[in-house]
């Protein structure tokens, strides 16, 4: 149903005007108004409780009159949608998009008139709104110097957050604090109100614009602080343009956030057409050896990426039905201080001991594919100059996935302009945002999927570009090799409720040698073995690494069987239970099959869970292959105590699970024969 209200100027009342829209279930109400100086504001409530109170809207420009006051609402339009769409790969095949929409047109009375619109979509799991700026009279080029969008949250709330615009990009341990302790935070930022309502603030469809961090300008008032270019301008654009969606996911409890598709729904449909060449799957790689110091990226006696070593990985992958083999350190540039100078890298010249044509042919004979690697160290211009040739090379050898890397301090991405002058940009400014999409589009032309590390945050663009298959963008397993400190047990009990709300993460689970430097070393993995298996189900990524060295898997073949079995692509995913930072339980059904999988993990606290199996979608009896913590398991004292057992269970049963401190459980439910 569609209705249009044109409000004539003659009928303008003295009081500010407002408009509102509710979610289809009526629980969320978004209202928008101008105050007595014509400044636009919005408010959100959920089941009658305020979620954001009077929060400002608008933007300011370098040259033109700002969009901050003097406005009237001159028209509103209602619309709505109730459809579903199919993901080529994903957490679920079918995504339902049911929302109500409101478009509000703002204009000034002065001349030349300023105009902008706010489009709002409200679904049962949250809302998104964006600015749509039409052509203005007298100018088209604009430099945005400030976006005024605020999120004015209730006090007395708890937040899970990482700092914004600090040197280590998104790779921080999460803070759990009162709201007021935050200065700046990256999104998604997760908030629990006193009533138990959970919120996540983020953005969707970040295209040709700067990302924002949340800046607490006044107590509980967070401004969307756009990351600037090196010259201080936030966004360089032309009218007409629209911003990304500013999103608030809302749920009555923590688990509700995990079952939301809001971010994907606010993105545009696939523009790449047939993407059957984008293939989810598992991979091993020449990787962990470098992180624990057993191998080097650069040349020398322990160079990881040698032809011989790569063949060992290919053989191992082929033997266990693992689709991919990542090789880092194959290309010239790794000798010396690559971290501080990415211009050293060639993306087409291999080290002499790495034979790309021979290895790709060898892998193909065994039904395995190499996964390419481009570490840019943040030298974007050096990479962009070579990108086409580099993807051509991989395409010509049948390499269809490339992991990229942007290791450089935040604010240190090197951009060389047409005059040869170097500028240093943020990982989440408009320049980086546009670079990533250029790379994704170039890769798509060669049927290559990308997995960027040190990326820009995910805003759901995998829907539009399904070859943007996964990314890092948080503290991953690598920190367990050398992080000071390594990831504590609660880290993976926070990620699902924060970083993972934005999309898949290449966390690289599956380290089996948890004490590679000895149990007393600070450098160790702070999980049990069973929890490493649980990560495959809990931390969604359509390409999942088996991160450890093959010899460590060969020593524990029974536990490794779960990694062999677990798929990376799902028909359905259901978060069953959990609390942010404490524990989480996911059930997922394999795509195109009958098996269900369950992953449960806990923080440093051991706990017992009762899990009804009613998610199983038929009455059939299943054989549950259970990988769980043993009675004496503890991440610190006894991480290897694992019980692997089979039980016959059905949807009528309630499973009692005991998770050790820092522990977890992984289960495959297969049909009983
Ligand atoms: C950082 C990435 O996160 C890691 O996976 C990679 O091995 C190094 N960069 C080197 O490229
Ligand atoms: Ca990293």
Exposure string of 248-287, with b = 16+ CB inside 10 Å and e = fewer, is bbbbeebbbbbebbbbbbbbeebebeebeebbbbbbbbbb
Mean pLDDT of the chain: 96
> Which residue's CA lies nearest to atom 7 of ligand 1?
287
Nearest-atom index, ligand 1, CA of 291: 7
**In a mutational test of the pocket of ligand 1, which residue from 292, 334, 478 has the highest number of ligand atoms less than 8 Å from its CB?**
478
Q: Determine how many CB atoms are found less than 10 A away from the CB of residue 308.
A: 9
For residue 85, give both structure tokens: 């769409």
Q: What is the pLDDT of residue 318?
A: 98
Cα 26 to ligand 2 centre (Å): 42
What distance in Å separates the CA atoms of residue 556 and residue 530, rounded to the nearest whole number?
A: 12
Identify the residue whose C-alpha is closest to ligand 1 atom 8. Answer: 405
pLDDT number for residue 446: 98
| Rounded distance from Cα 673 to ligand 2 centre (Å) | 44
Q: Whose CA is nearest to atom 6 of ligand 1?
A: 405
307 pLDDT exceeds 90?
yes
| Ligand 1 center from residue 405 Cα (angstroms) | 6
**Distances in whole angstroms, Cα of residue 60 to Cα of each of 113, 413, 564:** 15, 26, 54
Write the pLDDT tens digit of every residue in 385-441. Answer: 999 999 999 999 999 999 999 999 999 999 999 999 999 999 999 999 999 999 999
Give me ligand 2 centre to Cα 545, in Å. Answer: 14
Nearest to 90 by CA among 570, 593, 594: 570
pLDDT at 329: 98
Confidence at 16, pLDDT banded by 50, 70, 90: very low
Q: For residue 180, what pLDDT is reported? A: 96
Spatial CB neighbours of 86, under 8 Å, sequence gap ≥ 6:
93, 94, 95
Confidence check: pLDDT of 23 > 50: yes
Confidence (pLDDT) at 8 = 42
Measured by CA distance, the residue closest to atom 2 of ligand 1 is 453
pLDDT at 111: 86
Q: How does residue 5 score in pLDDT terms, banded at 50, 70 and 90?
A: very low
| 27, 46 Cβ separation under 8 angstroms | yes
- CB neighbourhood size of 460 (10 A): 25
Sequence-distant (≥ 6) Cβ neighbours of residue 361 within 8 angstroms: none
Q: How far is CA 226 from CA 8, 167, 213, in A?
A: 35, 17, 7
CA distances from 512 to 266, 385, 479, 480 (A): 39, 40, 15, 12
316: its two tokens? 């191992």
- What is the predicted pLDDT for the residue at 521? 96
Whole-angstrom distance, CA of residue 284 vs CA of residue 617: 32
The closest residue, in CA terms, to atom 11 on ligand 1 is 375
Tens of pLDDT along 63-98? 999 999 999 999 999 999 999 999 999 999 999 999
CA 187 to chain centre: 10
pLDDT at 9: 44
Ligand 1 pocket: which of 375, 450, 543 to mutate (most atoms within 8 A of CB) = 375
For the CA of 287, the nearest ligand: 1
> Which of 169, 286, 328 has the most ligand 1 atoms within 8 A of CB, as the residue to mutate?
328
Q: Tell if the pTM clears 0.95, that is, is over it.
A: yes
Residue 373 alpha carbon, nearest atom of ligand 1: 11
Q: Ligand 2 centroid vs 298 CA: distance in angstroms?
A: 18
The DSSP code for 469 is -
Asked if the model's pLDDT at residue 172 lies above 50, the reply is yes
Nearest to 194 by CA among 249, 254, 247, 154: 154
In this structure, the residue with its CA closest to atom 3 of ligand 1 is 453
Within 6 Å (CB) of ligand 1, which residues are found? 287, 328, 375, 405, 407, 453, 472, 478
**CB–CB of 561/667 below 8 Å?**
no
Structure confidence at residue 673 as a pLDDT band (50, 70, 90): confident
CB-based burial, 592-608: b 16+ in 10 Å, e otherwise: eeebbbbbbbbbbebee
Instruction: Provide the annotated active-site residues.
Output: 478
452-503: pLDDT as tens digits: 999 999 999 999 999 999 999 999 999 999 999 999 999 999 999 999 999 9
Q: What's the CA-to-centroid distance between 360 and ligand 2, angstroms? A: 26
Confidence at residue 17, expressed as pLDDT on a 0 to 100 scale: 83
């Amino acid at each position: 149903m569609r209705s249009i209200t044109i409000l004539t100027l003659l009928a303008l009342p003295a009081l500010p005007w407002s408009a509102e829209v509710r979610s289809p279930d009526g629980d969320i109400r978004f209202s928008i108004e101008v105050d007595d100086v014509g400044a636009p504001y919005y408010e959100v409530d959920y089941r009658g409780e305020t979620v954001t109170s009077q929060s400002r809207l608008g933007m300011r420009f370098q040259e033109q009159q700002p969009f901050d006051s003097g406005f009237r609402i001159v028209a509103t339009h209602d619309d709505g949608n109730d459809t579903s769409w199919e993901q080529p790969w994903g957490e679920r095949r079918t995504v339902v998009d049911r929302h109500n929409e409101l478009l509000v047109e703002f204009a000034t009375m002065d001349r030349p008139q300023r105009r902008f619109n706010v489009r709002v979509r409200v679904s049962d799991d949250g809302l998104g709104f964006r600015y749509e700026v039409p052509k203005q009279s007298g100018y088209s080029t604009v430099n945005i110097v400030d976006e005024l969008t605020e999120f004015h949250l209730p006090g007395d709330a708890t937040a899970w957050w990482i700092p914004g615009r600090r040197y280590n990009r998104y790779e921080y341990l999460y803070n759990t604090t009162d709201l007021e302790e935050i200065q700046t935070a990256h999104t998604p930022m997760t908030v629990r109100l006193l009533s138990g309502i959970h919120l996540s603030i983020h953005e969707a469809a970040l295209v040709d614009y700067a990302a924002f961090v949340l800046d607490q300008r006044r107590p509980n008032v967070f401004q969307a602080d756009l990351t600037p270019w090196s010259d201080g301008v936030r966004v360089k654009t032309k009218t007409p343009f629209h911003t990304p969606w500013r999103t608030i996911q809302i749920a009555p409890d923590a688990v509700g956030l995990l079952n939301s598709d809001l971010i994907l729904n606010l993105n545009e449909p696939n523009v790449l057409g047939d993407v059957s060449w984008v293939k989810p799957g598992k991979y091993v790689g020449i990787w962990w050896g470098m992180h624990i110091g057993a191998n080097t990226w650069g040349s020398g006696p322990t160079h990881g990426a040698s032809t011989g070593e790569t063949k060992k990985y290919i053989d191992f992958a082929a033997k266990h039905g693992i689709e991919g083999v990542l090789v880092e350190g194959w290309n010239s540039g790794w000798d010396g201080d690559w971290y501080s100078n990415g211009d050293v890298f060639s993306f087409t010249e291999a080290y002499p001991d790495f034979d790309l044509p021979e290895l790709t042919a060898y892998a193909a004979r065994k039904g395995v594919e190499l996964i390419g690697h481009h570490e840019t160290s943040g030298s974007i211009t050096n990479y962009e100059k070579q990108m086409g040739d580099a993807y051509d090379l991989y395409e010509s050898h049948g390499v269809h996935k490339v992991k990229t890397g942007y290791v450089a301090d935040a604010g240190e991405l090197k951009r060389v302009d047409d005059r040869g002058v170097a500028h240093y940009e943020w990982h989440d400014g408009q320049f980086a945002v546009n670079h990533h999409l250029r790379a994704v589009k170039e890769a798509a032309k060669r049927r290559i999927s990308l997995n960027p590390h040190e990326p820009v945050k995910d805003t759901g663009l995998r829907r539009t570009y399904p070859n943007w298959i996964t990314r890092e963008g948080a503290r991953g397993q690598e920190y367990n090799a050398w992080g000071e400190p390594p990831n504590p047990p609660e880290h993976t009990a926070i990620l699902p409720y924060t970083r993972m709300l934005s999309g898949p993460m290449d966390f690289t689970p599956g380290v089996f040698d948890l004490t590679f430097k000895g149990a007393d070393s600070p450098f160790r993995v702070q999980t049990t073995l069973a929890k490493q298996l649980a990560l495959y189900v809990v931390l969604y990524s359509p390409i999942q690494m088996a991160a450890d060295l093959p010899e460590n898997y060969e020593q524990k073949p029974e536990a490794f069987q779960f990694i062999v079995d677990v798929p990376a692509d799902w028909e359905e995913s259901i978060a069953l239970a959990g609390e942010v930072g404490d524990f989480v339980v996911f059930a997922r059904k394999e795509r195109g099959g009958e098996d269900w999988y369950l992953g449960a993990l806990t923080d440093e606290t051991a706990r017992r869970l009762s899990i009804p199996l009613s998610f199983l979608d038929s009455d059939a009896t299943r054989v549950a292959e259970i990988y769980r913590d043993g009675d004496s398991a503890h991440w610190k004292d006894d991480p290897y105590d694992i019980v692997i057992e089979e039980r016959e269970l059905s949807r009528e049963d309630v499973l009692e699970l005991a998770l050790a401190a820092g522990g977890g459980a992984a289960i495959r439910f297969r049909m009983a024969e």
